[in-house]
Chain A
Amino acid sequence: MVGLGIVIFFVLIALLAPWIAPYDPLETSWSAVRKAPSLAYLFGTDEIGRDVLSRVIWGTRASLLAGVVSVSISLALGVPIGMLAGYAGGWTDGVISRFTDAMLACPFLILAIALAAFLGPSLTNAMIAIGISATPIFIRLTRAQVLAVKVEDYVEAARALGNPHLRIALRHILPNIVAPLIVQATLAIAAAVIAEASLSFLGLGQQPPAPSWGSMLNTAKNYVDQAPWMSIWPGLSIFLLVLSFNLLGDGLRDALDPRHQ
């Protein structure tokens, strides 16, 4: 429940950003370049005098958005395809499974980098790239769950009653495979937040001057010796947000899946 608490905390920060950020995250000040943390600037300032705290607060939006939107893309693509593979079986399943294997063979981050590179650098394209790269995990999980559930008596009964396939899939199978999907989605958000930060760190995500934790770290690494605070806070935020989704996912798994206790 600690995880859920931190997640809610970050959601609130993202929603309330315009009211709680002490400064404009884009406002530069040549009289306050690389100032150490002080009462005026709690987290210090960056190389062109922008307030690090305000940028960290606004950066929460990019990270949360990237986490949630990319995983929504993965779910929207992965669940229907996985259900089709598991439910239809035969050569449909064969083709989909081989394709899933091929995508899983490309390391997640390298695939995301390649997709983002070919699509062009922007936050939207980074989210698409991460979403597509994470899709095969959901295809595989959904397929496995459908295979386990479709031999259950209640599905047999629904079939014997003459229900159409789509109705069986949506009304009888889907509700019974939601729990593991929720657990996986929560853990995938954690991975997506790291992936977005990584892409932004490499310059393939949120473009400057818009604030994002990853791109803040990219600049900060050039000032490690002069302004270490520039790298502490954005990194700590990524760590906390990812940790909270990991804790939430582990907690949900313990609560929803009796085999995992």
Chain B
Amino acid sequence: MSSYLLRRLATIVPTLILVSMLVFGLQQLLPGDPAIVLAGEDRDPAAVEYLREKLHLDKPLPVRYAYWIGGVLRGDLGESLRVQKPVVELVLEKLPVTLQLASMAILIAILIGVTAGVISAVKKDTAWDYAANVFALWGLSTPNFWLGILMILLFAVQLGWLPASGYVSPFEDLKGNLAAMIMPAFVLGNSFAAVLMRHTRSAMLQVLSADYVRTARAKGLAERVVILKHALRNALIPVITLGALGFGELLGGTVLTETVFTIPGFGKLVVDAVFNRDYAVVQGVVLFTASAYILLNLLADLAYFLVNPRMRG
């Protein structure tokens, strides 16, 4: 058991190092002298000189990487040139908003996706199954920024039920916060729900034909108990792992959702950074998301390992 855990933990180290190299390498894509590009339009000679020194641009590439990764390991992701704040501080400031949005989206996605997946597997080849599959195709093919605009059109402009954009902290006004976040969360969760639906459906179909489900039925258990207690519990195991893989797309989706609904989170931070040519922030966000994604997948694998007795032998 522990050897599996150690091996799994060991694989993420080289991955994290390579991710950091990729993120560092992004800077090499900038055309021309990075110090001049990074200093922005005014190209203040003092700023250029400061950056050249700070980024060690006179040193060879591997040395620059060593300086940079050393900083990252000490929790220094560089400094935003636009707002003169450490990138870590900016990221941590915006993170709670995005975490709330993402958690609500995941909750909605699980509610819709798993339910639809179970129904379509249990009622295979009926109108229900067909409808659930149409829903999945819709979810996978709808760009979420368009869905966001459509929902604003319906619920904010036409019906006037929800605010079109904006954000209130849940600590100031919980009701206002939920009203502002429900549409973005639904929009963000929509395609993830489709992914979960497909995974749940195929996992349920596999499990429903397994011997222990037949045994449970033969014992005369109610169909509800068989499906929810015996089948779903086992079917959810692969769904957790596959779901964690889909989480990356969800993180990417926050960028668009936050732009549509003007929510001041992580995604908005990247977009603003891109337009302000605030490259350290872009690098910081990519590094942060990738590391979070790697750790989340590790956790999903560990959860899989813990709930699956066959892997513990």
Contacts and interface: CB of A to CB of B under 8 A. Distances in A.
Interface of A: 98-99, 101-103, 105-111, 113-115, 117-120, 190, 194, 197-198, 201-204, 217, 220-221, 224-225, 228, 231-232, 234-235, 238-239, 242-243, 246-247
A224 B249 CA distance: 26
Interface stretch (B42-50, B85-93, B289-297, B305-313): B289-297
B256 A201 contact: yes
Given A201-B145, A203-B275, A102 B18 contact: yes
Contacts of B273: 117
Nearest to A119: B29
> Which among A221, A224, A225 has the greatest number of chain B C-beta atoms within 10 A?
A221
B215 interface: no
Interface residues of B, number: 50
Nearest to A129: B29
A198 B289 contact: no
Given A106-B22, A106-B286, A107-B252, A239 B294 contact: no
A109 B252 contact: yes
Contacts of B256: 109, 198, 201-202
Interface in B129-143: 137-138, 140-143
B185 interface: no
B149 A224 contact: yes
Contacts of B29: 115, 118-119
Given A101-B18, A106-B19, A110-B270, 9 more contacts: A105-B294, A108-B248, A110-B290, A113-B270, A113-B271, A117-B274, A224-B153, A231-B146, A243-B138
Contacts of B259: 201-202
A107 B165 CA distance: 25
A117 B269 CA distance: 13
B206 interface: no
Looking at chain B's contact residues, is the secondary structure mostly helix, strand, loop, or mixed?
helix
Contacts of A234: 146
B249 A108 contact: yes
Contacts, number: 140
B27 A105 contact: no
> Which among B14, B140, B145 has the greatest number of chain A C-beta atoms within 10 A?
B145
B146 A107 contact: no
Contacts of A197: 143
A108 B253 CA distance: 10
Contact of A235 (B137, B149, B252, B290): B149
Nearest to A120: B31
B15 A235 contact: no
Contacts of B68: none
A118 B18 contact: no
Contacts of B271: 113, 202
A62 B108 CA distance: 34
Interface in B252-269: 252-253, 255-256, 259-260
Contact of B255 (A106, A113, A224): A113
Nearest to A231: B149
Contacts of B149: 217, 220-221, 224, 231, 235
> Which among A98, A201, A243 has the greatest number of chain B C-beta atoms within 10 A?
A201
B118 interface: no
Contact of A242 (B26, B143, B255, B275): B143
> Which among A118, A120, A194 has the greatest number of chain B C-beta atoms within 10 A?
A118
A93 to B, nearest CB: 14
